[in-house]
């Protein structure tokens, strides 16, 4: 008697690409809401620009490749890439920054390698790193936290789409990480920096709430098993440990571990960027090594490198190493020697 056997896989997972992408996008919402509160409607404007640019570029490249549009545009990967890029950009950066970064992320970071599942690097961080290297001045045009309260939607719109660069310079401020790095390089002590604007006694006012919101979203993803715990745990653990050693060894020239954890893109990078299932390590031991090395690179770049944050560069550098890490820690196949 003949039986009809379906093609593999015979055991199907309940999760899907679309489900994972939209679950990550949903986990971004608390951090996005806090960013809008702290930095104003520019975050939403750049989010809209990034979504339109990313989806447009995805559709165009899929058409050129003679691939069906509906299933690939609906899988949520381009939407998530656009959102991750948008929340990493300054809220009053010029509009073309977002458009250029989104196009680079989709065309070069994703479709050039064959689309989702074939990209060796995180597409959003490819776009962000290119922008940071190519256009350092507009990429540092951040508003002070809660400083957008004095700016209406029309004023922010004018800053993003306007042609007067002096208007942006009048309201832009450096981030706490940038101020800390610059002032330490000038020989000022940590106590002097803490008691001066934009700190006022706390390491990163405003930014800590953004990071805590992304932490909440990341823990929700771990609870729902959208992401594994190893990468964020090892990244944050190594970063905290190195920052603690540095602070105890030289408290006048190294910020506290809490400053490192709650400043810049630490939590966004740990839970939403480093955990990209395509470009990250896949085995459990590999994830621990991969995340720990990202934490090491973030600390080194922040403390001794030329950029104040370093999360994007740390992730991209470890994307290079992820296949090698997985090669050396791959689990033993059942029935075969290691």
pLDDT for 266-295, tens place per residue?
A: 999 999 999 998 999 989 999 999 999 999
- Quote the domain boundaries for residue 72: 16-173
**Structure token pair of residue 117:** 């599942």
Domain count along the chain: 2
Question: Are residues 137 and 201 both part of a single domain?
Answer: no
pLDDT, one tens digit per residue, over 121-144 is 999 999 999 999 999 888 887 877
Question: Are residues 294 and 315 both part of a single domain?
Answer: yes
Q: Residue 197's pLDDT is what?
A: 56
Q: Hey, is 91 helix, strand or coil?
A: coil
Q: Which of 11-15, 133-137, 146-150, 187-191 has the highest mean pLDDT?
A: 133-137
| Distance between CA atoms of residues 151 and 325, nearest Å | 48
pLDDT, one tens digit per residue, over 27-85 is 999 999 999 998 889 999 999 999 999 999 999 999 998 888 888 888 889 999 999 99
Residue 233 lies in a domain: yes
Nearest 10 degrees: CA dihedral of 184, 315, 321, 111? Answer: -140
In this prediction, what percent of the chain has a pLDDT beyond 70? 83
State the sign of the Cα–Cα–Cα–Cα dihedral 293, 295, 297, 300: negative
Instruction: Provide the H-helix boundaries in the chain.
Output: 17-39, 42-64, 69-73, 77-88, 95-103, 123-134, 153-161, 165-171, 176-185, 190-194, 207-223, 230-249, 257-261, 266-268, 284-304, 311-328
Question: Are residues 233 and 94 both part of a single domain?
Answer: no
Full-model pTM:
0.88
| Distance between CA atoms of residues 77 and 269, nearest Å | 17
Question: Are residues 156 and 115 both part of a single domain?
Answer: yes
Question: Are residues 155 and 295 both part of a single domain?
Answer: no
Look over the chain and give the mean of its residue pLDDT values, rounded to a whole number.
85
Question: Are residues 181 and 322 both part of a single domain?
Answer: yes
Question: Are residues 95 and 156 both part of a single domain?
Answer: yes
């Amino acid at each position: 008697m003949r039986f009809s056997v379906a093609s593999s896989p015979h055991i199907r997972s309940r999760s899907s690409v679309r489900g994972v992408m939209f679950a990550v996008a949903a986990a971004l919402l608390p951090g996005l809401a806090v960013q809008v509160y702290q930095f104003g409607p520019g975050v939403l404007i750049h989010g809209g620009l990034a979504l339109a640019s990313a989806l447009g570029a995805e559709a165009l490249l899929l058409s050129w490749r003679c691939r069906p549009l509906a299933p690939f545009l609906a899988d949520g990967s381009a939407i998530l890439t656009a959102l991750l890029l948008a929340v990493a950009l300054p809220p009053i950066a010029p509009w073309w920054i977002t458009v250029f970064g989104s196009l680079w992320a989709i065309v070069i970071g994703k479709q050039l390698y064959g689309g989702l599942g074939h990209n060796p690097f995180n597409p959003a961080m490819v776009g962000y790193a290119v922008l940071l290297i190519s256009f350092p001045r507009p990429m540092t045009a951040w508003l002070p936290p809660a400083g957008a309260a004095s700016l209406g939607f029309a004023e922010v719109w004018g800053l993003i789409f306007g042609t007067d660069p002096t208007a942006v310079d009048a309201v832009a401020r450096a981030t706490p990480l940038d101020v800390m790095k610059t002032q330490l390089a000038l020989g000022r002590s940590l106590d002097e920096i803490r008691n001066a604007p934009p700190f006022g006694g706390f390491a990163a006012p405003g930014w800590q709430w953004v990071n805590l919101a992304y932490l909440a979203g990341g823990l929700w993803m771990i609870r729902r098993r959208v992401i594994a715990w190893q990468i964020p745990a090892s990244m944050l653990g190594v970063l905290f440990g190195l920052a603690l050693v540095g602070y105890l060894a030289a408290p006048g020239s190294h910020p506290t571990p809490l400053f490192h954890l709650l400043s810049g893109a630490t939590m966004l990078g740990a839970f939403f960027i480093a955990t990209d299932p395509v470009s990250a390590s896949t085995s459990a031991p590999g994830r621990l090594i991969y995340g720990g090395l990202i934490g090491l690179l973030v600390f080194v770049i922040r403390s001794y490198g030329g950029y104040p944050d370093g999360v994007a560069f740390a992730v991209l550098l470890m994307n290079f190493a992820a296949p090698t890490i997985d090669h050396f820690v791959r689990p033993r196949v059942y029935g075969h020697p290691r």
